[in-house]
């Protein structure tokens, strides 16, 4: 590759990464402030948040299929535009159907970056640099999530205090018992969270700017052939292609039972104040940053598959600490904070491999469609998880804490599947294994 082309690759990678950083801020707001906001204004949407995550995966998967025709640039630009429109709508249009529609649009805008990331960065990186670039993109995105989650709840409490004309400490104390708020306090609490959502319209707009400067060529996203070919369904004869869909679906189901509800569980079930909840949730994103920084080193030492499966197993004890936070008494906040930190760190450390490895199973032309299928698999299980929590799990006593036990079992099964199937062939792929692994 000549220097001019390498420079273009680097520029396009960085343009995406910078935009992805701003979308990290949006992700932090979506999984913290937005969920809490919906909990007050439309409980049905809030309780089935995982279903909306799943539906967003379907929409994003459908959009990504268009990549070989339209390219990545045109597709990804729709993300910020959709997010801006949805934030404005959910803040000002008080009509019941707007809440689920706007929630879905926000999640699509955010998730579109996650769906496009694997084939996009694979197209603009060499195999030697791939893990490093993927790690960089992910930890910079997570830094945005840390900042948004840390300051999102704090800003909401500050706006709440300002609206009630009381101190921040008094406002924070009131948020420790949302069910005990007066109607006036609850109204102002909702408006305070709406204020935060409106502030992030600017962030969504900033994420759009770098994308406008991407320098894209057709060969980046499509291999030229003499005849048009439909999607190559023969890839499903490859067991690695099929079983990765099963593995990813299991991981998404488990994660969908707990991740969207961290703030609700800590605030409503454990009685931790709103501001402290945001700070504790932000610690897990900080853990993701730290662990992603050392991800290339850990992957080099353990290998791709052992890092991905083994670290997931190490996260399980910390999930159980979160689920049983009340047993720690006065040390609950510290214990739950540590649980969130290490669960997140171990579970996400090998995320660059989860994103990049499946792209090696198929050809360049098949990558967008295959990645769409991966997200569809995750979307199906997220929707199932959302309905499971809405209709059953969260209606039984201790349902939020029981979700952690179910997720622990799923993580064990999925990790065993991963290690048994992929370890021999793919653990050192791209390191000391030089044979062609493309299906």
Q: What is the pLDDT of residue 427?
A: 86
Best CA proximity match to 244, nearest among 414, 424, 438: 414
Best CA proximity match to 110, nearest among 23, 13, 14: 23
Distance CA 123, CA 221 (A): 7
Per-residue pLDDT at 437 exceeds 60: no
Neighbours of 102 (CB within 10 A): 25
Q: What is the pLDDT of residue 436?
A: 40
> pLDDT tens across 58-111, in order?
898 889 888 888 999 999 999 999 999 999 999 888 888 999 999 999 999 999
pLDDT grade for 414, boundaries at 50, 70 and 90: very high
Q: For 104, phi and psi rounded to 5 degrees?
A: -60, -40
Distance CA 302, CA 382 (A): 30
Neighbours of 378 (CB within 10 A): 27
Ranked by mean pLDDT, the top range of 32-41, 207-216, 220-229 is 207-216
Q: Which of 108-112, 265-269, 278-282 is the least confident region? A: 278-282
Q: Tell me the C-alpha to C-alpha distance, in Å, between residue 55 and each of 27, 50, 111, 200.
A: 16, 9, 10, 23
pLDDT grade for 238, boundaries at 50, 70 and 90: confident
Best CA proximity match to 410, nearest among 427, 437, 433, 388: 388
Q: What is the pLDDT of residue 36?
A: 84
Per-residue pLDDT at 210 exceeds 90: yes
pLDDT grade for 286, boundaries at 50, 70 and 90: confident
pTM of this structure: 0.74
Bridge partners, residue 433, by sequence: 429
- DSSP states of 118-170 as a string? HHHHHHTS-TTTHHHHHHHHHHHHHHHHHHHHHHHHHHHHHHHHHHHT--HHH
Distance CA 97, CA 101 (A): 6
User: C-alpha 146: how far from its chain's center?
Assistant: 13
Ranked by mean pLDDT, the top range of 232-241, 267-276, 389-398, 409-418 is 409-418
> pLDDT tens across 312-368, in order?
999 999 999 999 998 999 899 999 999 999 999 999 898 888 988 898 888 777 788
Domains and CATH numbers, the chain: 1-217 (1.20.1250.20), 234-438 (1.20.1250.20)
pLDDT grade for 131, boundaries at 50, 70 and 90: confident
Best CA proximity match to 72, nearest among 120, 10, 35: 120
């Amino acid at each position: 590759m000549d220097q001019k082309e390498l420079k273009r690759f680097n520029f396009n990678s960085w343009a995406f990464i910078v935009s992805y950083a701003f979308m990290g801020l949006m992700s932090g707001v979506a999984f913290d402030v937005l969920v809490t906001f919906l909990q007050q204004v439309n409980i049905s949407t809030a309780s089935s948040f995982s279903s909306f995550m799943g539906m967003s995966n379907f929409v994003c998967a459908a959009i990504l299929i268009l990549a070989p025709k339209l390219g990545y640039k045109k597709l990804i630009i729709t993300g910020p535009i959709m997010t801006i429109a949805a934030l404005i709508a959910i803040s000002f249009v008080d009509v019941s159907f707007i809440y689920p529609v706007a929630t879905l649009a926000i999640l699509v805008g955010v998730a579109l970056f996650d769906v496009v990331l694997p084939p996009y960065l694979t197209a603009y990186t060499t195999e030697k640099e791939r893990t490093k670039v993927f790690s960089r993109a992910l930890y910079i995105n997570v830094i945005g999530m840390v900042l948004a989650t840390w300051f999102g709840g704090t800003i909401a409490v500050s706006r709440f205090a300002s609206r009630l004309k009381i101190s921040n400490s008094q406002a924070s104390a009131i948020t420790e018992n949302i069910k005990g708020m007066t109607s006036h306090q609850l109204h102002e609490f909702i408006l305070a969270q709406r204020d935060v959502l409106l502030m992030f319209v600017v962030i969504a707009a900033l994420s759009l700017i770098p994308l406008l400067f991407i320098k894209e060529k057709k060969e980046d996203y499509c291999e030229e052939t003499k005849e048009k070919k439909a999607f190559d369904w023969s890839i499903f004869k490859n067991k690695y292609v099929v079983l990765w869909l099963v593995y990813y679906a299991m991981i998404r189901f488990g994660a969908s039972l707990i991740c969207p509800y961290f703030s609700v569980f800590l605030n409503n079930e454990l009685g931790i104040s709103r501001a402290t909840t945001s700070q504790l949730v932000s610690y897990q994103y900080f853990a993701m940053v730290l662990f992603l920084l050392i991800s290339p080193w850990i992957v080099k030492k353990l290998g791709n598959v052992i890092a991905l499966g083994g670290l997931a197993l190490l996260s399980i004890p910390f999930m159980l600490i979160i689920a049983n936070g009340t047993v720690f008494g006065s040390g609950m906040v510290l214990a739950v904070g540590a649980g969130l930190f290490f669960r997140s760190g171990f579970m996400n450390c090998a995320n660059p491999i989860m994103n990049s490895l499946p792209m090696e199973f198929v050809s360049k032309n098949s990558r967008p469609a295959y990645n769409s299928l991966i997200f569809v698999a995750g979307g199906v299980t997220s929707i199932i998880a959302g309905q499971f929590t809405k209709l059953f799990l969260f209606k039984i006593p201790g349902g939020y804490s029981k979700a952690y036990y179910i997720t622990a079992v799923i993580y064990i099964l999925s990790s065993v599947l991963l290690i048994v199937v992929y370890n021999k062939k793919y653990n050192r792929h791209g390191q000391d294994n030089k044979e062609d692994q493309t299906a």
